[in-house]
Amino acid sequence: MSLTRFAKRKRASTHAILGDLFEEEVINIPTRGPEPPKAADMYTEARLKEGLLYADTTLRYKQRKLSPLAAHCITLYKATMKAALEGDWMDEEERIALLNTILVYETEIYGTRALGFPSVTVDMNTVDRLAQLRRYVFAVRYGDYMAGVYERLKIPAQEDSTSYFEQLPGWERYWTDVQAEIEKETKSWDLWKRGNKAVDEERIKTTLAISTACNHMGLNFDNTIETIRSLYADRKSLLLHMPVLQMARSGKWNKLRYILQDDLRDLPVVMPPDFHKSIPALQHIIEAVVDQYFTRAEWNDHDYNWWEPRLENTLVSADLKDATTRPQAVAAERRAVKDRAERKFKQMVSEHSYLQLSATRRTSVACD
């Protein structure tokens, strides 16, 4: 059972549900989430309210900022606790399934450090910059599809081209400086990772800030460093600067499926809240690319290890390489992905609200 199904329904206010337990102003930093019970049948109304109170105060506490991943997960958790307290189930079987789902996710929230407030100081400017950089990579990879799909679905185009980012004031200067600092700190960083206490943190401050921000956001640190290093390197030789069709032409299927899953994981974390329509649209573009080039195991369709390249991929690669067939092949592949994405998106819109759609797709157990 997915937590996201509960985010779409209009419910009573948290204040109305909690009554006297509700905190008008959250002054003290919320403690660690409530300890999960040993079994789902041990949940009582009081215990469920304890969980709701934790989620509500955590989300409303203003003195320290949650990571995007933590805010995403705890928002879903809060919606599900309200569903349980309001008796949102059809029968006894569904009630038990709901409580078991809450227990699984609550266990993850209780035991996962990334789903609470950071225990170390995080430079939120670095967090915002890394989120922006990740969206730049999305524009590189999926920009060919985004403009067309957004136009057909009447979704405002937001950051759908690399030129948007490259024209931001100070964009190139900032990342060029960060890249230079990372290179300068490489040896000291390697020593620091091996536990060399002689390394002063001042000698690795840029790399350490990026590492801390990645941990805070749930991003892959090594991939982030690779992206920064490759921004202004030889673009012809780097996967970062390769749109999907270029990877398909090169036959890099194993790399492509890893990248696609990684992008699906990071998508909700790095998108600003006001991009609520773009999240599901881009999600379905990425899902459409997956289905265009891979078959997925029905029992584990979100794990890229179970995505097998389609037999016709060899022919696709050949057509994309051949100068005489390339224009028609490129147009056909783009059209096929756009059509898949549009069908997926329209099907979900018919079933769910944008509120739910904007809070989907995180493969961490705590969030999906």
Q: What residue spans of 61-170 are helical by DSSP H?
A: 68-85, 92-111, 124-152, 162-166
pLDDT at residue 88 greater than cutoff 70: yes
Which tens digits make up the pLDDT trace of 313-368?
888 899 888 889 988 988 898 889 888 888 877 776 555 443 343 333 333 333 44
Q: What is the pTM of this model?
A: 0.67
Give, as one character, the DSSP assignment of residue 62. -
Contact 339, 45 (CB under 8 A): no
Predicted pLDDT of residue 73: 75
- How far apart CA 263 and CA 270 sit, in angstroms, is 10
pLDDT class for 241, splitting at 50, 70, 90?
Answer: low
Report which secondary-structure segment, H or E, holds 295: strand 294-296
pLDDT tens per residue across span 259-308:
998 898 888 778 776 665 677 788 889 999 999 999 988 777 778 888 99
Per-residue pLDDT averaged across 150-177, rounded?
82
- At 191, is the pLDDT very low, low, confident or very high (cuts 50, 70, 90)? very high
Instruction: Inform me whether the pLDDT recorded for 107 exceeds 90.
Output: no
Tell me the pLDDT of the chain averaged across its residues: 80
- Indicate the DSSP class of residue 358: T
57/23 Cα distance (integer angstroms): 7
